[in-house]
Amino acid sequence: SHFVPFTGVGKEDDQVVSGYVFWSLFQGLGPMIWFYPLNELELSGYEIFAVTFFAPVLVGIPGVLKLVQNRWMLGILRLATVGSLASFQASTTLIRLAILALGTGAAMLIFTVTLWSKDSRIRCHTFWGIILGFLSFVSSRVWFVSFVPTWWSNQTNSIVIGIGAIAALDHIISGSDIFEVKESPSKTTDRPYWLPTAIGFGSLLYLTHWCFGESSLVLRWVVKGYPDHGPAPYPWGAFILIGLGLGVLIMSWSRMTRSKIWWIVGLISILMLYYLPTWMGFIGGLGLSIFTMSIWSVLVDRLTLCPPARSMCVVMVTYLVQIFFFVWTVAYNFVPGGVYTREHTDYLIAAVMIGIFIGMFIGGEYNNHTAFPCDNKKQVPFNKIRTVTVLIMCIGLLGYGMRYSDNQIKQPEKKNEREFSAAIWTFHFGYDNKGWPSMERAANLFKDTGADVITLLESDASKPFLGNNDLGMWFGEKLGMYVDFGPATKDHTWGNLILSKYPIVKSTHHLLPSPHGELAPAITATVNISGNLVDFVVTHMGNHRDRLDRKLQAKFLAKELTECENPVIFLGYVTSAPHSPEYNDLIKAGNVKDIDETDYDRWCEYIMYRSLKRLGYARITHAGLSDTEIQMAKFEIPEDPKNYKDNTRVITDSSRVNKEVHFNHKFGKFKSGHRNLKTHGFHMDTPKYFLP
């Protein structure tokens, strides 16, 4: 992987790095808190660590603000935030979460203390550090294909800590935290009302994280099935990055950015993004990226005229209520009160935009005193900031350029072009069972399996509490595979994507009928395997306690299977045992066969097929990368799918079948029963091979 150091000018350098560290912590805490309920499928109590977001409340205690505004105290806090990045290298998940939470608290405290400084130079530097730090943060993710370098590997984590430590020490030694100007606060008559202003800034903070924590996020909001799937995250995410940069560059046009017309532009943009598909939705996302960054200066200028402790408390309450509301729109089946929030992102959009409106327009005269302090034109040459902004954007765009690949996706070379393999895995959003990134290990596993078509369930990590990552784009680029990501991330599912070494000809994304339980995603896709069309129906059905849902879903999927004109494979997470009503519906009404009807020890994942010859079947342990094993099957496309004989005999002696059909010996030999390995291996009476 590449790592791009930050480039800036003079003292702003340290501020940009501080801003980068701030965003790494701010966006890194959510996924770690979320990790526990993800594993338990219920609220775990560790959500209490979010309380560190409220560290700014401490400045409300008399004397604390003065104490912390001391350069040495600030220096200690700066070193603490950088040190807490090392939480990534902690030995256990809980220690990691605790250190990360403390670091986030320290970062929030620095943010508040310096943004409310009486010295306009410190205020201004903090503001631009946060803004340019954000652009650097988003640009660095481009190089890591949507992942955060700080939380990617021990090496990249150490590099960020090194750069952060140098910047923090430079801050302390250069004395840039020392007050230079004693400035009288503006007259009270000018002050905006603190409550609406704080709600407005909290909403802006959430909107920035939700839609633009990574530059290609909104492209997964507008995706549809092939062939007209709309703009792909690569390269169209580059335009969102340019939009964010443009938003920063037009901040100085304050007459426009603080007008109600500009707010209406923002509102229309987010409604386009949410309600319109593909290219029209993308244009909305582009408009929203410019709007979102451009109003930071307006809201921060108003916010810093309000009392710091209670304002920041309301800011964080607003931000967290919106984050939790978004969790509730998707996880409504596992949380109290979910029935009211189910699939209601529209309520959330209304709350965010109304919040921003009241923050921008209720009470008080406008006062340029943070981003562009009136008394300090010399100290904030906006030309310099423009230069740094453009430089950071260029680094991000260079990342997009470096990822460009001339090579068409190469089809696998095989002796028998009619043979192919398919796999299904519930992936757990790219985090292993201890909460560390599992992407590289998963990519190596996919290479070892040699699977040609893979369906990854629980794979939509583009939500802010899952890290804003695009797993499909990462695997597609890493493994050289076509990606079909669906349904769109705004459709409130946990995600469902297909990776294929062969071209995807067409596909349809479905939301299965789910009157009671969680919304179930499915894709029906047609893949061109060496000139032969094969259909795939892939899905993650609803929870086992919602019987009506599963009954309706099985009926829907069976209909999809019967309507497939080509040979078809079903790769599904069915949440019920073999020969349950749902299983029987799929087999009988869907007119498909089970890959191994003698395998009674299954609960979730199933592979079924029609008009194909089965060659082999394997179950491979997850080795701690997820809570579910991988299942895989090998097939041959018959010359005449209407008139052929399937393989009926089951054997476990691999020496009796062609070498081309063998599963990778790296996973060991035939293994009966369950096994819990730290490495991937066959288990559950597999691998099995099939003969005529």
pLDDT at 4: 30
Domain stops at, among 185, 207, 233: 185
Domain stops at, among 138, 160, 185: 185
Which range (123-132, 277-286, 367-376, 572-581) has the least confidence? 367-376
> Helix, strand, or coil here: 523?
strand
Looking at the fold, whether 226 and 348 belong to one and the same domain comes out as yes
Residue 568 gets which letter from DSSP?
A: E
Q: Quote the domain boundaries for residue 209.
A: 187-368
Between CA 274 and CA 172 the distance in angstroms is: 45
Asked whether 426 and 540 are in contact (CB, 8 A), the reply is yes
What's the maximum distance between 2 C-alpha atoms anywhere in the chain? 90
Residue 585 gets which letter from DSSP?
A: I
Q: Which of 284, 225, 240, 234 is CA-nearest to residue 488?
A: 225
Q: How many Cβ atoms sit within 10 Å of the Cβ of residue 381?
A: 11
Long-range interactions of 46-54: CB distance < 8 A, separation 24+: 46/94, 46/97, 49/97, 49/98, 49/101, 50/101, 50/320, 52/101, 52/102, 52/104, 52/105, 52/108, 53/29, 53/104, 53/105, 53/108, 53/316, 53/319, 53/320, 54/108, 54/312, 54/313, 54/316
Looking at the fold, whether 342 and 448 belong to one and the same domain comes out as no
The model's confidence at residue 633, banded by pLDDT at 50, 70 and 90, is: very high
Looking at the fold, whether 11 and 53 belong to one and the same domain comes out as yes
Looking at the fold, whether 242 and 360 belong to one and the same domain comes out as yes
- What tokens does 281 get? 């939705």
pLDDT at 2: 30
Looking at the fold, whether 212 and 297 belong to one and the same domain comes out as yes
Residue 6 lies inside a defined structural domain of this protein: yes
Looking at the fold, whether 48 and 13 belong to one and the same domain comes out as yes
Give me the helices (H) in 421-508, please.
439-449, 471-479
The model's confidence at residue 329, banded by pLDDT at 50, 70 and 90, is: confident
Residue 378 lies inside a defined structural domain of this protein: no
Residue 60 lies inside a defined structural domain of this protein: yes
Looking at the fold, whether 310 and 169 belong to one and the same domain comes out as no
Between CA 343 and CA 340 the distance in angstroms is: 9
What percentage of the chain exceeds 70 in pLDDT? Answer: 94
Residue 541 lies inside a defined structural domain of this protein: no
Which range (176-190, 349-363, 463-477) has the least confidence? 176-190
Q: How far is CA 451 from CA 447, 470, 481, 502, 618, in A?
A: 8, 21, 11, 11, 11
Residue 150 lies inside a defined structural domain of this protein: yes
> Helix, strand, or coil here: 2?
coil
Q: Which of 569, 585, 464 is CA-nearest to residue 525?
A: 569
Which range (67-76, 269-278, 579-588) has the least confidence? 67-76
Asked whether 146 and 396 are in contact (CB, 8 A), the reply is no
Residue 431 gets which letter from DSSP?
A: B
Mean per-residue pLDDT for 386-412?
89
User: For residue 567, is pLDDT > 80?
Assistant: yes
Mean per-residue pLDDT for 34-59?
82
Asked whether 63 and 498 are in contact (CB, 8 A), the reply is no
Looking at the fold, whether 259 and 282 belong to one and the same domain comes out as yes
Q: What is the pLDDT of residues 83-128, one digit of tens each?
A: 999 999 999 988 999 999 999 999 999 999 999 988 888 888 899 9
Residue 526 lies inside a defined structural domain of this protein: no
Which range (330-334, 435-439, 627-631) has the least confidence? 330-334
Q: What is the pLDDT of residues 166-176, one digit of tens each?
A: 999 998 888 88
Exposure on the CB side of residue 307, measured as CA atoms within 13 A: 12
Count of domains forming the chain? 3
Residue 222 lies inside a defined structural domain of this protein: yes
- What tokens does 20 get? 């980068």
Sheet containing 504-511: give its strands across. Answer: 504-511, 521-529, 532-540, 568-573, 605-610, 593-594
Between CA 587 and CA 570 the distance in angstroms is: 10
pLDDT at 6: 32
pLDDT at 553: 95
Which run of H or E residues covers position 262? helix 260-275
162 alpha carbon, distance to own chain's centre: 26
Looking at the fold, whether 218 and 333 belong to one and the same domain comes out as yes
Looking at the fold, whether 352 and 467 belong to one and the same domain comes out as no
Residue 524 lies inside a defined structural domain of this protein: no
User: For residue 9, is pLDDT > 60?
Assistant: no
Looking at the fold, whether 132 and 192 belong to one and the same domain comes out as no
User: For residue 151, is pLDDT > 90?
Assistant: yes
Which range (133-137, 177-181, 243-247, 577-581) has the least confidence? 177-181
The model's confidence at residue 13, banded by pLDDT at 50, 70 and 90, is: confident
The model's confidence at residue 341, banded by pLDDT at 50, 70 and 90, is: confident
Domain stops at, among 132, 150, 185: 185
Looking at the fold, whether 97 and 195 belong to one and the same domain comes out as no
User: For residue 54, is pLDDT > 90?
Assistant: yes
